[in-house]
Structure 1
Amino acid sequence: MTLREILVVERQGHDNASVLAVTGWLANAFNAFVRGLCVYAAPDPTIAECFAIGDRPMRAVSDHLDRQRDESVVPVETGFRATLTEAGASGDWARIDSGAAVDTGPLRARLVDLVVLPRPAGDDHASLRLVESFLSDGGTPCLLVPEAIDLPVSFDRILLAWNGSREAKRALDAALPLLARAAAVQVVMVGEPTESEAQGHIDALAARLARHGITIDARHHPRGHTAQQILESCRTFDADLLVLGAYGQSRTTEAILGGVTRTVLLNAPVPVLMDR
Structure 2
Amino acid sequence: MLIEIKNILLPLTGADDLDSVMSVALDFARRFDAHLSAVVVGSDPTEVATLAGEGISAGMVTEMIDAAATEAHRRAIRIRHSFDSFVHNNGLRRVEASKIGMSIGGGVSASLEVLDGTEHDALTWRSRLADMTLVPNLISATDPRASETLHAILFDSGRPLVIAPPIAPKTVGSRIAIAWNGTPESSLALRCILPWAHTAEGVQVLTCQEYQRRGPTGDDVVRYLRLHGISATTRACDPINKDVGAGLLKGAEDFGADMLSMGAYSHSRLRQMILGGVTRHILENMKLTVLMSR
Q: Summarize deviations over 1:135-158 as a string: whole Å, max 9, x none.
A: 01111100011231322x331100
Preserved CA contact (<8 Å) 1:209 1:215: yes
- Matches of 2:237 and 2:163, distance apart in 1: 25
Whether 1:230 and 2:283 are equivalent positions in the alignment is: no
Match in the other structure for 2:54:
none
**Residue 239 (str. 1) matches residue 257 (str. 2):** yes
Alignment: residue pair count: 260
SS at match of 1:11: coil
Over aligned residues, Cα RMSD in angstroms? 3.4
Task: Tell me by how many angstroms 1:95 deviates.
Answer: 1.6
Q: Work out the CA distance in 2 between the residues paired with 1:256 and 1:71.
A: 37
| Bigger helix share | 1
Name the structure 1 match of 2:133.
Answer: 115
* 1:54 alignment partner in structure 2: none
Is 215-224 or 106-115 further displaced after alignment?
215-224
Q: Which residue of 2 aligns with 1:34?
A: 36
The 3 A distance-change label for structure 1 pair 211 and 100 is same
When residues 70 and 26 of structure 1 are mapped into structure 2, their CA distance, relative to the original with a 3 A threshold, is closer
Q: Structure 1 length as normaliser, TM-score?
A: 0.82
Identify which of 214, 233, 236 aligns with 1:217: 233
Aligned to 2:102: none
Any runs of at least 4 consecutive aligned residues in structure 1 with deviations exceeding 6 A, and if so which?
Answer: 63-67
91-100 or 79-88: bigger deviation: 79-88
For the pair 1:96 / 2:98, whether they are aligned, the reply is no
1:117/1:131 contact within 8 Å kept: yes
**Residue 99 of structure 2 corresponds to residue 81 of structure 1:** no
Cα distance in 2 for partners of 1:136, 1:193 equals 21
- Could you tell me the TM-score, scaled by structure 2's length? 0.77
Q: CA contact under 8 A between 1:15 and 1:147: conserved in structure 2?
A: no
- Residues 192, 93 of structure 1: alpha-carbon distance in 2 compared, 3 angstrom cutoff: same
Partner of 1:257: 275
Cα deviation, residue 253, structure 1: 1.4
Q: Given residue 221 of structure 2, which amino acid in structure 1 is its aligned partner?
A: L
Distance 1:247 1:74 in 2: 33
Partners of 1:235 and 1:12 in 2: how far apart? 28
| TM-fit CA distance, 1:239 | 0.9
Q: Offset at 1:35?
A: 0.5
Counterpart residue number, 2:18:
16
Residue type of the partner of 2:183? S
| Percent identity of equivalent pairs | 28
User: Does the alignment pair 1:143 with 2:159?
Assistant: no
Deviating more after overlay: 265-274 vs 70-79: 70-79
Per the alignment, do residues 261 and 67 of structure 1 end up closer, same or farther by CA in structure 2, a change over 3 Å counting?
closer
Query: In structure 2, how many angstroms separate the alpha carbons of the residues matched to 1:241 and 1:214?
Result: 16
Question: How far 1:69 sits from its partner (Å)?
Answer: 6.3
2:9 paired residue number: 7
